[in-house]
A and B are shown apart, each in its own frame.
Chain A
Amino acid sequence: MSTGEQILTVSAGAKTRPRKAATRRQKQERLVAVGFLAPFMLLLLIFQYVPLLVMARNSFYDYSLLNPAAEKFVGLRNFADMIEYDDAGRSFGITFLFAFGVVAFVIPIAFALALFLNSKLPARGLVRTMIMLPVVTSSVVTATMWSFLLDPSNGLINGALDIVGITRQPFLTSTTQALPSLIAMTLWQQVGFGTILFLAGLQGVPSELGEAARIDGATRWQVLWNITIPLLSRTTLFVVVIMTVFSLQTFAPAFLMTQGGPQEATNLIVYHIYNTAFIMQQAGYASALSVVLLLVVLAISMVQMALLRSRWNY
């Protein structure tokens, strides 16, 4: 018998080896764990997974919320409609653009702010509160406040532009400026969250590594680029995934500030789904859109996790 065969035999033997019977203590611990987990798992099952299954089933039907009893099985028609009509494609496109805009700006700004807060500042707590305040402010309040700020006639931002000699901008009433305006508002609201996450990551980076590099003659920039940023890759991945998922699920600004307009320029996918189900009364089509959104969010998150997988541990 060769060495290879021996190894195979050993592994096969290991696979078939009977499991050790659980001790009484282990059994008790398992029972306690199940007891603690059961209420949450039950709620998760009832309010998350069952609705998901119902949604998946509904995506093959055509029905209105006003009369769900008159539902009709339409097979893949709802999915075919997403290709035949341009509403779904446009809405997904706008949502991706929105998510890209938010993530592309939030990550560097939040990181820069976290570096700033990680230094020895005298009023660090105050600055941190100021950055976090928009995060804990209600979306409705934020949206209303920004609607006033971005008023095309008498808004504060246009007033400021007027003072410096720049012509008034239409902002939310312009097809080209509405989406960037929503991105700016979301950036203002969410950057604090990203900052706190990065700050937590920075405070976990061992200071010895940076100090050793500095003794070896590395500049601050080299320490940041070659040590801090690579070591923060787990935090970066987390912030990127969280911000992407959050952006893909954004609803309030489109609902409260622009109602998806002008000319569908801010028709974010979740608002489109709401509109399709509750106003257009096409609940089956809305379910199909939700299924696709779920798959898209899953796929994007998986790709991001694969691309940004951490290669360093500390």
Chain B
Amino acid sequence: MKIYSIVFASLLGATALGATGANAQSTPTCTGETVTLRILRTPGNYPYPKPMEAWQKDNPCVKFEINEVPFPQLADTISVQAASSNPPDIIVYDGPNTQSYAAAGILLPITKYLPKGWDADILPATKAEHSYNGEVYSPGIEQTTVAMYYNKKLVEAAGVKPPQTLAEAWTWPQALEAFKKCQQGPAGAATVWGLGPTRFGNGQPGLVYQDLTYQRSAGDPKAAPTSSAYKTFWAFAPDGKTAEGYLNTPEAVEALKFYQSMFNAEGVAPKVGIPNAFFDAKACFYIDTPAAGNALIKDPKIEWGITPLPYFKTPVVHTGSTTFGATARSKHPEIAAKFVVDMSWGEYAYMNVSQRGNLPTLKSLFSRFDVYNKYPMKVFVDQLQSWGQPRPPGPKFAQYDKIVSEALRGVAFGGDPAELMADAEKKVQRILDR
């Protein structure tokens, strides 16, 4: 009898404990219909698991199916999948393509889903890049821009002292002098390069994101709108209807001759990529996004610093990052739009941005990132707020980007700047006329 009593008491106790445990977990359960949101993104990109799991607690009926493609194949994949009968609900894509995707009817306008205060909190360059015909198509999560990193040991050994604030930023001729002083080995075949190659694409020069700023900085946004200085700065008609007279200007050609000399006559920058050149101390200076700084903070392979991006007349840096949006043909547009907006606002946005370490798109979040409140990473915040400009936006950005990048690469490889820019203008016009 005694044994039976003990067994019965134990079972009762175990049941009670089990019930308590279940209550303590308080996992929300879905009581309605389950919805699966299909997300297309690049590996290692947002939305990240932690904020997604947190969001799912408030939205227990939503599940996710994630498909990943490498960044170089992202645009092609979107082209194919967006037109399919079953497109993804949410796409992560390169921010400057927002207007292309909006014009093609791929993205869902999300203006009506945006929270109060979003307009005042968002960086103007981000809003401009992610809007089309008065509607916002992507709230954006993070923002990037480029600045010039330097290897402290190498530049100090060369007696070079790079500026640390925007007010003291170098002009390109000043920067060139520093490259020449610091470079080791013969021009054009250095052992340590003055300016290292980009890590974007295949490492060759010419990318609009990085290299169109040479000629844009030779322009003047305050000049008369009909002047070549004004057109040089914008590099594309503000109404998006033409590039003629905006790329092949006297100011742009002059700047491009300088740009060309760095790869040829002066020989301070390589024409092809060298993997990890800056991180392996094979380059004194190097242009990159905050991602490089964050990597060096985690793993300080070299002593490093950051100097603002040099310029000719008007300092300018390009903004833009990957972003995400809900698709117009999603089977669950309301939920997809809610998820996209939620992920880019408040605590969820903080969780997403802090995962990778790029800059946030919301001004209110800057103060929460200590690393961006002091030198060297503060240079990025200052540049973004004072010099940031989106790449020339328009529904044909991808085509503009390809054509102008090829022209800039041609200049870097020794082609005639005026001829190549005139050709680029014609090609862009052909695309716009279609």
Contact with B along A132-160 (1 / 0, CB 8 A): 00000000000000010001111000100
The one of B75, B204, B399, B415 that contacts A263, using a Cβ cutoff of 8 Å: B415
Please report the C-alpha to C-alpha distance between residue A275 and residue B270 in the assembled complex, in whole angstroms.
26
Which of chain B's residues has its CB closest to A147's CB? Answer: B272
Q: What's the minimum C-beta distance from A280 to chain B, rounded to whole angstroms?
A: 5
Q: Are A85 and B406 in contact (CB under 8 A)?
A: no
Enumerate chain A residues within 8 angstroms of B188, measured Cβ to Cβ: 152-153, 168
Is A175 close to B, CB under 8 A? yes
Q: Are A66 and B271 in contact (CB under 8 A)?
A: no
Is B30 close to A, CB under 8 A? no
Q: Are B106 and A172 in contact (CB under 8 A)?
A: no
Q: What's the minimum C-beta distance from A205 to chain B, rounded to whole angstroms?
A: 47
Q: Are A65 and B434 in contact (CB under 8 A)?
A: no
Q: Are B399 and A279 in contact (CB under 8 A)?
A: yes
Is B1 close to A, CB under 8 A? no
Contact with A along B125-139 (1 / 0, CB 8 A): 000000000000000
Is A173 close to B, CB under 8 A? yes
Interface positions of B from 370 to 408, Cβ below 8 Å from A:
398-399, 402, 406
Q: What's the minimum C-beta distance from A18 to chain B, rounded to whole angstroms?
A: 53
Which of chain B's residues has its CB closest to A63's CB? Answer: B83
Q: Are A281 and B399 in contact (CB under 8 A)?
A: yes
Is B296 close to A, CB under 8 A? no
Q: Are A66 and B82 in contact (CB under 8 A)?
A: yes
Is B15 close to A, CB under 8 A? no
Is B104 close to A, CB under 8 A? yes
Q: Is the interface of A mostly helix, strand, loop or mixed?
A: loop
Is A190 close to B, CB under 8 A? no
Is A201 close to B, CB under 8 A? no
Please report the C-alpha to C-alpha distance between residue A264 and residue B423 in the assembled complex, in whole angstroms.
12
Interface positions of B from 276 to 333, Cβ below 8 Å from A:
none
Q: What's the minimum C-beta distance from A296 to chain B, rounded to whole angstroms?
A: 23
Please report the C-alpha to C-alpha distance between residue A64 and residue B82 in the assembled complex, in whole angstroms.
11
Please report the C-alpha to C-alpha distance between residue A162 and residue B129 in the assembled complex, in whole angstroms.
48
**Which A residues form the contact surface with B (CB < 8 A)?**
62, 64-70, 85, 147, 151-154, 158, 168, 170, 172-175, 256, 259-264, 275, 278-282
**Residue contacts A-B, CB under 8 angstroms, 25 given:** A66-B83, A66-B104, A67-B104, A67-B106, A68-B83, A69-B83, A70-B105, A85-B430, A147-B272, A153-B189, A154-B274, A172-B272, A173-B204, A174-B413, A174-B414, A259-B204, A261-B406, A262-B415, A263-B415, A264-B406, A279-B398, A280-B399, A281-B79, A281-B398, A281-B399
- Contacts beyond the supplied A66-B100, A263-B415, A282-B434: 11 A-B pairs with Cβ under 8 Å: A65-B80, A168-B188, A170-B413, A172-B272, A259-B202, A259-B204, A259-B406, A260-B406, A262-B410, A262-B415, A263-B410
